[in-house]
Amino acid sequence: MDFTEYQKNTKETAIYPNNMEGGFYYPALGLAGEVGELLNKIKKIARDKKTPDIEDLKGEIGDVLWYLSQLSNEFGIDLGQAADENIKKLKSRKERGVISGSGDNR
């Protein structure tokens, strides 16, 4: 499944609390929470020197992707196009030897 198709499918399960209908706040806050959950699992892997539970991490990454997809929907951004443009930008930076620099406009 590509990002554009995934993004369309996430709309079917996008049920926000009544006080947050039709806005970007719910998916933005949900994205932050899910990224936190993912990072907490990664922290515990590093701290406890455990073998990662790939299925558990896959589930958390899927949750991050769902909220990112919904946030993109709220702003009318096609996730597939955003992904494509990001890769083009990174390839250009690599070709110009500035991929490891800092700043947005390189």
CB atoms inside a 10 Å sphere around CB 86: 10
Q: 42-93, pLDDT tens digit by residue?
A: 999 999 999 999 999 999 999 999 999 999 999 999 999 999 999 999 999 9
Q: 5-29, pLDDT tens digit by residue?
A: 999 999 999 988 877 666 899 999 9
What domains does the chain contain, in order, with CATH numbers?
A: 3-95 (1.10.287.1080)
The backbone torsions φ and ψ at residue 53, rounded to the nearest 5 degrees and listed phi first, read -85, 100
Q: What are the percentages of helix, strand and coil residues in the chain, rounded to 5? A: 75, 0, 25
Whole-model pTM: value is 0.86
Rounded CA-CA distance 77/100 in Å is 27
